[in-house]
Structure 1
Amino acid sequence: MERIKTDILVIGAGSGGLSVAAGASQMGADVVLLEGHKMGGDCLNFGCVPSKALIASAKAAYGQAHASQYGVADVTPQVDYAAAKDHVHDVIAQIAPVDSQERFEGFGVRVIREYGRFISPTEVQAGDHIITARRVVIATGSRPFVPPIPGLDEVPYETNETIFDLRERPDHLLIVGGGPIGLEMAQAHIRLGSKVTVIEGAKALGKDDPELAAIVLDSLRAEGVEIAEDAQAEQITGKAGAIRIETADGRTFTGTHLLMAVGRKSNTEKLDLDKAGIKTTKTGIKVDDRLRTTNRKVYAIGDVAGGLQFTHVAGYHAGVIIRSMLFGLPSKAKTSHIPWATYTDPELAQIGLTEAEAKKKHGPAMDVARFEYHHNDRAIAERKTKGLIKVMVLKGRPVGASIVGHQAGELINLWALAIANNLKMSQISAMVAPYPTIGEINKRAAGAYFTPRLFDNPKVKRVVRFIQRWIP
């Protein structure tokens, strides 16, 4: 048994853990990194990267079948599902070296390919190693949550950890869960030639602005995706190629394949947290606003911390704790400036408060600026006019933005910048955007906030008329 002493021990080589390891080691700290599975974690291997690659294949197929609006003949795409999966794995392979063991060893990180578990408040065992560190960072991420639906354990099913290895196209894919993962995979598969049924126990995209979510759901239904809401799965039966789902209200759905996409569960079971005095909650490890656990020498970041479960949040958390661990600076995590996006077509993006949340919190003091995609010239040129933006504004500053439409995930970046830096709407309005771009939508939303204050204001008109009389 080898005993190791280090400055920082990182458990988990996903987005957050790798960010901590790279940053800390390059700034002079002694770092040990533990990973018992794949370098790069869920995002690279089973999540963000493969899903966006499959969505790209589906987009190409859809484009061939809907080209006539651009003066190009529609054709029936010849989809090779296995080749699309080859594309997915090629994308993973191209990105993998950035997250590789060799690269991090080049930074001076000692990488041990074993799972870690606490054996005391100050010690972690990983294989034949016992590690003592000044600070420990738990970055073990999350995995698909599979609910205990009667019969499910006797039926073959996919999760995001297995579906990207599926080589034969499903004839009819049943998806339990109408959140971002479920709907992204639904649209990808309908475009690649499968029939798709989404079964959601409550409301699909229920965490997003309902007006904007409805635009996405209408688009998916128009493409042929069946979306059943308020359909709580109560019984699952069948076998490979013939699966049946019964819901609490008596509806039944049948298909050839099943994807479970009902949420995520934090990876804490292998850590023996009780031996370190670390408490958990229903969603993950209990942390304070500095991301410290109930063991003050141990931090938890990313999905395992039980908050927003996005790759970019894990990276943000890494920056927060690096400032604290390496420099002793007060550094707290917040969520008001964290954006997220769902990569359906049209895309759906959000940051800060939704319209309903803002009205509930701020009442009549809150304004909503709106701008529709169909007024944007680039959107018209590209036939991408479905969508709108809402910006929630309090005393001249944005406190939230909701966008549905072409490149919504790109457009939200500006509002992330604005909210993170407490910018004013006047500063957004002062931006000059190149014409014609989709990005003009952001500037026009800012303009929509000022329109009633300038053009519909009798005082402004009186001042202008007065000045015009006296200026020579």
Structure 2
Amino acid sequence: MSRIDTDICVIGAGSGGLSVAAGAVQMGARVVLVEAGDMGGDCLNTGCVPSKALIAAAAAAQAQRRGFRGVAAAKPQIDFAAVKDHVADVIAEIAPFDSQERFEDLGCTVIRAFARFTAPDTVQAGDSTIRARRFVIATGSRPFVPPIMGVETVPYLTNETIFALRDRPDHLLVIGGGPIGMEMAQAHRRLGCAVTVIEGDRALGREDPEMAAPVLAALRDEGITIREGQAVVRLSGGEGAVEVTLSDGSSIAGSHVLMAVGRKVALDGMGLEAAKIAFDRKGVTVDDRLRSTTNRRVFAVGDAAGGLQFTHVAGYHAGIVVRQAVLGLPARARRDHFPRATYTDPELAQIGLTEAEARAAHGDRLHVIRLDLSQNDRAVAQGRKAGLLKLMVVRGRAVGVSITGPQAGELIGLWAMPITKGLKLSVITGIVLPYPTLSELSKRAAGAYFSPQLFGNPWVKRVVRLVQRLLP
């Protein structure tokens, strides 16, 4: 049994925990990093990285089916196991950046064991007792499996197991119509599976319905069955032959079931009570500094902090914590400027308020601008004109942007700066973008806000006529 005294103990080696550990140790703090599972956490091993690798392979298959004018479409020859090899290779290529060896080289003490608090300032991890001035809980989340009748006896997949599946499912039943469910549904459909999505409420229910509609229509056009407003009440069957019974009494048979109904914060068994750390089902109870409200030694980042469950949010949280726990500087976390993207085809991205949220917050002060992607020359040239940008403006400043279309996740990045900093739309209209690019749609939307003031104002016309008479 060893005893370690340190400045900062980070529990969890996912995106948030690794960012805290790397920043703190390189600034001179003594850091212990504790991880019971795989280094890199969910994002690297079972989340963002493998899902985007799978989506890329599926997009390549769909491109063959789609063809182009003058380019014949073809039926893709899909080796499902080889696609999974691609997924594994992508993880392996990125893994060294998150590896134990790299963090030990940076100067961290890395302990591969489960961490459990035994006191407000002490953690037990394997054979090590760790006492720290500050703790950072960065344990992430796990797939939530709802208590459906029969779930204990029927085999099912989650994001933690589906990427290891090397035999192509004949018919994948996806329970949950959120971003994860829809991304996996489309990817597997494009790779040759029959797919049915079952959603108890509205598919992509968190998103603006106007923006989600083209995505859902595209998925249905590709042959995905989407059952909305129907909850799953029972699972039955066995390996390779499962059946779900819906709340309306109907049933659907398939070969595999994927649970994609949400995430549960991973705090079980950590002994938070012994450390006097308040928490609930959403995560550790923290203030706007991401510090535990009941134990000032403890911070939480990412999913463990009880907010939005995105890798980029965890990275942002890490910066807030490093500023305080390492440098002793004040810092407070915001929640109103995080972008998000659903990587279906077309993609769906959002930053700030949706239209409904903006109307509720700003009422008659809100100005909404809509631009179809068909008004963008690059989209026309590519033959990908289906899409929409919606800009929510209050007093000359963007409060929200929604984009549906190809590369929406990339396009939303242009709006991160003005929304984060509260800059005027003139910042966007004043930039020069290469032509032709999809990003010009954002500049055109910002310009559309000023157009009525410039081109429809009679006083502007009078001033211009006067200037024209006075000019030599």
Shorter-normalised TM range: over 0.9
Question: Which segments of 5 or more consecutive residues in structure 2 lack a partner in the other structure?
Answer: none
**Code of the aligned partner of 2:132:** A
In 1: Cα distance, 2:419 partner to 2:31 partner: 34
**Code of the aligned partner of 1:446:** A
Q: Which residue of 2 aligns with 1:21?
A: 21
Q: Which residue of 2 aligns with 1:147?
A: 146
Is residue 8–residue 133 contact of structure 1 (8 Å, CA) maintained in 2? yes
Provide Cα deviations, 1:303-359, integer angstroms capped at 9, x if missing partner: 111100000000000000100111211101111111010000000001110011001
Q: Which residue of 2 aligns with 1:370?
A: 370
| 1:418-457 equivalences in 2 (<5 Å) | 418-457=418-457
**Code of the aligned partner of 2:156:** Y
Q: How many residues align?
A: 471
Is residue 370–residue 448 contact of structure 1 (8 Å, CA) maintained in 2? no
Q: Which residue of 1 aligns with 2:103?
A: 104
Is residue 186–residue 225 contact of structure 1 (8 Å, CA) maintained in 2? yes
| 1:158-173 equivalences in 2 (<5 Å) | 158-173=157-172
Residue 336, structure 1, aligned to residue 336, structure 2:
yes
How far residue 205 of structure 1 moved from its aligned partner, in angstroms, is 0.6
Residue 119, structure 1, aligned to residue 106, structure 2:
no
In 2: Cα distance, 1:371 partner to 1:429 partner: 15
**Code of the aligned partner of 1:245:** V
Is residue 264–residue 281 contact of structure 2 (8 Å, CA) maintained in 1? no
Q: Which residue of 2 aligns with 1:346?
A: 346
| 1:217-256 equivalences in 2 (<5 Å) | 217-256=216-255
Provide Cα deviations, 1:355-384, integer angstroms capped at 9, x if missing partner: 110011100111112221101111111111
Question: Which segments of 5 or more consecutive residues in structure 1 lack a partner in the other structure?
Answer: none
Name the SS of the counterpart of 1:357 in structure 2: helix
In 2: Cα distance, 1:297 partner to 1:125 partner: 16
Residue 41, structure 1, aligned to residue 36, structure 2:
no
Name the SS of the counterpart of 2:274 in structure 1: helix
How far residue 241 of structure 1 moved from its aligned partner, in angstroms, is 1.9
How far residue 12 of structure 1 moved from its aligned partner, in angstroms, is 0.3
Provide Cα deviations, 1:416-451, integer angstroms capped at 9, x if missing partner: 111112211011100111100111111111111111
Name the SS of the counterpart of 2:401 in structure 1: strand
Q: Which residue of 2 aligns with 1:396?
A: 396
Q: Which residue of 1 aligns with 2:173?
A: 174
Provide Cα deviations, 1:125-169, integer angstroms capped at 9, x if missing partner: 001100000100000000000000001111110000000000100
How far residue 282 of structure 1 moved from its aligned partner, in angstroms, is 2.6
Name the SS of the counterpart of 1:467 in structure 2: helix
Structure 1 stretches of at least 4 aligned residues deviating more than 4 Å after TM superposition: none
Is residue 426–residue 446 contact of structure 2 (8 Å, CA) maintained in 1? yes
Provide Cα deviations, 1:233-268, integer angstroms capped at 9, x if missing partner: 111111122211111122321111100000000000
**Code of the aligned partner of 2:60:** A
Name the SS of the counterpart of 1:190 in structure 2: helix
Provide Cα deviations, 1:175-219, integer angstroms capped at 9, x if missing partner: 000000000000001100000000000001111111000110001
In 2: Cα distance, 1:457 partner to 1:80 partner: 61
In 1: Cα distance, 2:336 partner to 2:69 partner: 41
| 1:59-74 equivalences in 2 (<5 Å) | 59-67=59-67, 69-74=68-73
Is residue 138–residue 300 contact of structure 2 (8 Å, CA) maintained in 1? yes
In 1: Cα distance, 2:144 partner to 2:25 partner: 34
In 1: Cα distance, 2:463 partner to 2:358 partner: 33
How far residue 456 of structure 1 moved from its aligned partner, in angstroms, is 1.9
In 1: Cα distance, 2:273 partner to 2:458 partner: 67
In 2: Cα distance, 1:111 partner to 1:81 partner: 36
Q: Which residue of 1 aligns with 2:133?
A: 134
Name the SS of the counterpart of 2:213 in structure 1: helix
Q: Which residue of 2 aligns with 1:357?
A: 357
Q: Which residue of 2 aligns with 1:196?
A: 195
Name the SS of the counterpart of 1:269 in structure 2: coil
**Code of the aligned partner of 1:244:** E
Q: Report sequence identity in percent.
A: 62
In 2: Cα distance, 1:130 partner to 1:282 partner: 27
How far residue 270 of structure 1 moved from its aligned partner, in angstroms, is 2.2
In 1: Cα distance, 2:243 partner to 2:459 partner: 66
